[in-house]
């Protein structure tokens, strides 16, 4: 299948300390991929790199046939200024920024799309609520509504189901499946391996470099997971800036 995002020898990190080393591979157009790995494996860092929030320390990220603006990104809730007094309605209308920018007024179509998105996530009655008064699950649904409004071909989800109850997970997971069936490319950072096995056809197993990348069943083999945990735990701050000694990556 044709790639939509191609990574070439990508190294990403913070303040010159790499969190991901020499990652090469590609996400196919229309694919549904889970990114898994132990804490500190570089999963969120990878998503931020693809979204353009982090500049590569080395290597490159190629977007094929899409621009940065075509990537919807669901950040972790801790990255939002949750006390900012914005209403649910305004927070969802942010999704129209790509089309309206600073000057264009919100038209009826924009409003209808936002209303439909809020109804779809079950927050139709919460339009005037201030975001800080929502529960964690409601906030996550609101962010999903923003993604619906953005209507982008590529969707990046950073821990979309963390701290969310089962019912909300079911609603959100159904939306992810719907996006996949509409031909959108979805990449999600996840922790629940059972969920990944059941719902995500492709998986990238990260432990600061790609341990395995491909069909979920083979990637999540126990041997790979053991290796992932061992590698991440062996990491220390005094390791060389760029670990060239790490084994080569496995392209899908």
- Residue 133 or 218: the one with the smaller Cβ distance to another protein is 133
**Residues 4-33 contacting another protein, CB under 8 A:** 15
Distances in Å between the Cα of 229 and the Cα atoms of 13, 38, 124, 205, 226 are 20, 6, 42, 11, 5
Tell the smallest beta-carbon distance from residue 210 to another protein (Å). Answer: 23
**Rounded to whole angstroms, how far apart are CA atoms 181 and 164?**
24
Q: How far is CA 244 from the centre of its chain?
A: 27
- Residue 129 or 229: the one with the smaller Cβ distance to another protein is 129
- Residue 71 or 228: the one with the smaller Cβ distance to another protein is 71
- Residue 69 or 124: the one with the smaller Cβ distance to another protein is 69
**Residues 102-121 contacting another protein, CB under 8 A:** 102-103
Closest CA to 25 of 211, 240, 156: 211
Tell the smallest beta-carbon distance from residue 102 to another protein (Å). Answer: 5
- Residue 129 or 197: the one with the smaller Cβ distance to another protein is 129
Residue 126 touching another protein (CB under 8 A): no
Q: Which of 5, 23, 46, 91 binds another protein (CB under 8 A)?
A: 91
**Rounded to whole angstroms, how far apart are CA atoms 216 and 204?**
8
Report which secondary-structure segment, H or E, holds 148. helix 136-150
**Residues 58-87 contacting another protein, CB under 8 A:** 68-69, 71, 73, 75, 79-81, 84-87
Distances in Å between the Cα of 118 and the Cα atoms of 28, 73, 142, 147, 201 are 30, 18, 7, 11, 28
- Residue 39 or 102: the one with the smaller Cβ distance to another protein is 102
3-state SS assignment for residue 188: strand
Distances in Å between the Cα of 193 and the Cα atoms of 81, 103, 159, 223 are 30, 45, 13, 14
Intra-chain end-to-end CA distance of the chain, in Å: 11
Q: Which of 8, 24, 28, 53 binds another protein (CB under 8 A)?
A: 53
Whether 158 contacts 73, CB under 8 Å: yes
Q: Which of 6, 98, 110, 229 binds another protein (CB under 8 A)?
A: 98
Tell the smallest beta-carbon distance from residue 75 to another protein (Å). Answer: 6
Residue 90 touching another protein (CB under 8 A): yes
Report which secondary-structure segment, H or E, holds 21. strand 17-28
Whether 213 contacts 203, CB under 8 Å: yes
From 23-31, 45-53, 112-120, 225-233, give the range in contact with another protein by CB under 8 A.
45-53
3-state SS assignment for residue 34: strand
- Residue 126 or 225: the one with the smaller Cβ distance to another protein is 126
Contacts with another protein by CB under 8 A lie at 15, 48, 51-53, 68-69, 71, 73, 75, 79-81, 84-87, 90-91, 94, 97-98, 100-103, 130-131
């Amino acid at each position: 299948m044709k790639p939509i995002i191609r990574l070439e020898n990508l190294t990403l990190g913070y303040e010159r300390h790499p969190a991901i080393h020499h990652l090469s591979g590609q996400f196919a157009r229309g694919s549904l991929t889970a990114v898994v790995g132990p804490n500190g494996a570089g999963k969120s860092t990878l998503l931020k790199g693809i979204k353009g929030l982090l500049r590569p320390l080395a290597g490159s990220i190629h977007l094929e046939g899409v621009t940065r603006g075509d990537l919807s990104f669901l950040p972790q809730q801790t990255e939002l200024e949750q006390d900012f007094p914005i209403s649910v309605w305004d927070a969802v209308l942010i999704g129209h920024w790509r089309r309206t920018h600073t000057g264009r007024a919100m038209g009826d179509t924009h409003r209808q799309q936002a209303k439909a998105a809020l109804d779809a996530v079950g927050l139709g009655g919460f339009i005037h609520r201030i975001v800080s008064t929502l529960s964690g699950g409601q906030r996550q649904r609101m962010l999903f509504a923003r993604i619906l409004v953005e209507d982008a071909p590529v969707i990046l989800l950073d821990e979309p189901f963390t701290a969310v109850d089962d019912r909300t997970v079911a609603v959100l997971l159904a939306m992810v499946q719907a996006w996949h069936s509409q031909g959108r490319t979805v990449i999600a950072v996840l922790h629940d391996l059972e969920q990944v096995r059941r719902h995500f056809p492709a998986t990238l197993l990260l432990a600061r470099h790609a341990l395995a990348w491909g069909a979920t069943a083979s990637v999540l083999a126990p041997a790979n997971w053991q290796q992932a945990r061992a590698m991440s735990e062996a990491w220390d701050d005094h390791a060389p800036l760029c670990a060239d000694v790490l084994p080569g990556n496995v392209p899908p």
